[in-house]
Amino acid sequence: MAVLNKIRQRSLFLILIIALALFSFVLADLFKNNSGFDTKSQNTVATINGKDITRTEFMSQVEMMQQQMGPNATNSQVMNRVWDQMVRKTILENQFEQLGISVEKDQMRDLLKNTLASAPEFLDENGLFDENKLNEFIANLKEIAPQPGFLGGQPITFSDWTNYEKNLEQNALQQEYFNLVKAGLTGTLAEGKLENELEGNKRDIKYVQIPYTSIADSVIKVSKSDVSDYIKDHKSNYQVEASRDIRYVQFKEEASVEDENKIKEDLNALLTNRAEYNQVTKLTDTIKGFLETEDNEDFINVNSDLKFNPQFLFKNQLPTAVSDSLFNLNVGEIFGVFKDGGYYKISKLLAVKQIPDSAKVRHILIPFIGSTRATPDITKTDAEAKATADSIYTIVSKDRSKFTDLLDLSSDKVSNEKDGEIEFSYRDAFAPEFKDFSFFNKVGSLDVVKTSFGYHVIEILEQTEKQKAVQIGTLARKIEPSEETIDMVFRDASNFEITVAEKDFEEVAKETDYAVRPVNKIKALDESIPGIGNQRQIVRWAFEEETEIGAVKRFTITGGYVIAQLVAKHEAGLMSVDDATASVLPIIRKEKKAELIRDRVTASSLEDIAKAENTTVKTASAITMKNPTIAGAGSEPMVVGAAFALNEGETSGLIDGEKGVYMVEVTKVTPAVELDNYQAAANRVQNQKLAVVTSKLYQALQDAAEIEDNRAKIQIQ
């Protein structure tokens, strides 16, 4: 009881202690995860000129972009596209807001009218745009949302429509903004006069060039401190992103020689008959092999990794390495085992036909409800569509000239524009029933053919000369590792991972004869790793704060494993001396050579310098500031600029140029012709300014924008 009384007396004290303990626990968790006080950085992909782009907003756009770009686009490609678009949109919207420009309702209607002026859904009986039809269409989309309507035969939801209007608005605002900027760009008469002088002022010169190549590179010593000093003096040119260096060993799950031999054995075993006990009849049945089977299609579909292909093939469609062998088989003969495209195969010649390479037909297509590409206005059932096609066939079979008169009944609008005609190759992808009729019947044949698209009334108009084609039945087995091989690869990868955790990565790889692949300067947003393709998981790991230099990790990749080690971390900032040396060395070397040349030249005239340096005095005529090149020397802006600072008859001092050290003497000054009016030249200046607005305006805005890019800090990939 005494203890309970003491607890009651000190209850406030205990509550405070517990509260502090809980608070310290929360604080520890916050600091550990670095997320409590930095929620913004965890949920904000970017901050652009003070405006946040949230993770949710960004990923929503990524999802839509992925659908547009298709399955072949990688995650990074999609995300980079969205990033570029959102940065551009945000930067420009900031400009629109500052200028107070917007698209009002009436302007939006005009934009829609101009954009949809030829859309048949919004035209009246006279072919003119009807705004009432547009209003009805939008109202209907809103009413049936989220179900889609149709525009131009394509489904469109109300959400799609609002996005479409937003895109129109953005394009219009951007065009207006660019036009406003262009309206402020002019060419003044003073600029016109300067342009005329840059083009018209000319100098004839004599010059001596002492090329940098006259001094061997080996003579010039460039130290690391020289490179370091140069980098510090030119910081803006040598800024680099954070990067990582890694190395890895790849363990591939590939079929061994034993695996491949087993695959070939299994294929060969399918050739001959085999005995199989029948549990139902309690008798032993003889199962025919590939050599004797009469149902080749069923046999292949049951026993092959590739399904039966009924198509007839020309010789150039067969695998190149074995085309002669396959094409020259007799019906029923076997060829194989042979390797082709990751498979071992055995092929049998099933049939031979003479087939034209291409055909020209005309058709009338009657679709039915549920047929491929059937639009919502298709109301005929399968039976009704067939009845219509049969009626058309009856009319056309009696009078072929009626064919074009009945094209209005066909839903194939593309071929209707060509009198219903289609010309295609046997190799082209067409509905098999359509193709079979067109190529396996004679010219002039007419019939009703059903495909997944509906009922076609087809007439064969032309066929090219027939060629031999073969139908090949192929048993195929994919070349892949056995379970034993997969297990062995897993063990090898695991053993290597365990060993390198305590020993030198390179030495262990050398002892076990594994190839080490170094990969340097990986950026935080990179996706691909040379040699193993898209491996975003490895890049993320390399940039995690807790991943220390020397850390090793195993990654499961397609077809095996990678054991990777982080070798180095390079923080953002100035490029290292070692990395910059390749680009800086030639620059410093040229500067040092120029200094040596200037130190050794004592002569003051061109002729004396030419004699001392064993070279010649050269001439160049009509050089201009507009195009600072010198005949025989190339682009030399510093030398040309020095020449224009001289009067006729004057000689320059030594000038450090692009390709050597120069001395110049001006032999003739030709001033530009003075014009009564410089408006034409001013107009040229204005046109030059306008020409670069589209390409350079946004880039200038982007360079000036404050962009905080957090893509590498949050898990968006």
Crossing angle (nearest 10°) for helices 189-200 and 679-691: 90
What is the model's pLDDT at position 715?
57
What is the share, in percent, of the chain residues with pLDDT greater than 90? Answer: 70
CB distance 255 to 485 below 8 Å: yes
- Note whether 485 and 269 are within 8 A (CB): no
Contact 550, 272 (CB under 8 A): no
d(CA 505, CA 131): 72
- Tell me: pLDDT of 367 over 80: yes
Contact 598, 653 (CB under 8 A): no
**How does pLDDT run across 426-444, given as a tens digit for each residue?**
988 899 999 999 999 999 9
Average pLDDT on 655-669 reads: 96
Confidence of residue 211 (pLDDT cuts 50, 70, 90): very high
Three-state SS at 40: helix
pLDDT value at position 272?
A: 93
Pick the CATH number of 243-254+481-571 from 2.60.40, 3.55.40, 1.10.150, 3.10.50: 3.10.50
Total residues found in the chain within this entry: 717
* Minimum mean pLDDT range among 283-292, 322-331, 354-363, 619-628: 283-292
pLDDT class of 283 with cuts at 50, 70, 90:
confident
What mean pLDDT is predicted for residues 590-597?
A: 96
Whether 188 has a pLDDT exceeding 70, the answer reads yes
Top-tier CATH class for 358-464: alpha beta
* Pairwise CA distance, residues 206 & 635, whole Å: 16
Confidence band of 41 (pLDDT split at 50, 70, 90): low
pLDDT at 195 over 80: yes
Count of CB atoms within 10 A of residue 653's CB? 11
Strands 517-523 and 466-478: unpaired
Domain assignments of the chain as residue spans, ordered by start: 2-33, 105-183, 202-217+594-670, 243-254+481-571, 258-354, 358-464
Domains 202-217+594-670 and 243-254+481-571 alike in fold: yes
**Contacts of range 62-71, beta carbons closer than 8 Å, 24 or more positions apart:** 62/716
CATH pick for 202-217+594-670 out of 2.60.40, 3.30.450, 3.10.50, 3.30.70: 3.10.50
Buried b (16+ CB within 10 A) or exposed e, 376-411: eebebeeeebbebbeebbeebeeeeeebeeebeebb
Amino acid at 381: T
| pLDDT of the residue at 145 | 86
| Residue 157 tokens, joined | 């939801």
pLDDT tens digits, one per residue of 51-79? 999 988 888 888 888 888 888 888 888 88
In angstroms, the CA 464 to CA 424 distance is 11
Structure tokens at 461: 């108009």
What phi and psi values does residue 34 have, to the nearest 5 degrees?
A: 55, 35
pLDDT tier at 481, thresholds 50, 70, 90: very high
- 390-431, pLDDT tens digit by residue? 999 999 999 999 999 999 999 998 888 899 999 999 988 899
Can you read off the two tokens belonging to residue 666? 């001006």
Q: Hey, how many other C-beta atoms are within 10 angstroms of the C-beta on 125? A: 6
- Whether the per-residue pLDDT at 23 is higher than 80: the answer is no
Picking from 711, 580, 613, 663, the residue whose alpha carbon sits closest to that of residue 229 is 580
25 pLDDT higher than 50: no
* CA 605 from centroid of its chain's CA atoms: 59
Distance CA 468, CA 251 (A): 47
- Kindly provide the residue ranges of all beta strands, DSSP E only, lying in 464-526, ordered along the sequence: 466-478, 517-523
Report d(CA 354, CA 297) in Å as an integer. 21
Distance CA 151, CA 157 (A): 10
Model confidence over 112-147: pLDDT tens digits?
A: 988 888 888 888 888 888 888 888 889 988 888 888
Instruction: State both tokens at 521.
Output: 């300067």
User: Locate tokens 């007839």: which residue?
Assistant: 312
Q: Could you tell me which residues are beta bridge partners of residue 552?
A: 565
Q: In the predicted model, is pLDDT for residue 384 greater than 70?
A: yes
Q: Taking residues 282-291, what's their average pLDDT? A: 86
Q: Exposed/middle/buried for 514, CB within 10 Å: 0-12, 13-18, 19+?
A: middle
In contact, 564 and 558? CB cutoff 8 Å: no
Q: At what angle do helices 693-704 and 158-183 cross, to 10 degrees?
A: 100
Average pLDDT (157-186) is 91
Instruction: List the Cα angle 562/568/569 in 5-degree steps.
Output: 115
The whole-chain average pLDDT of the chain stands at 89
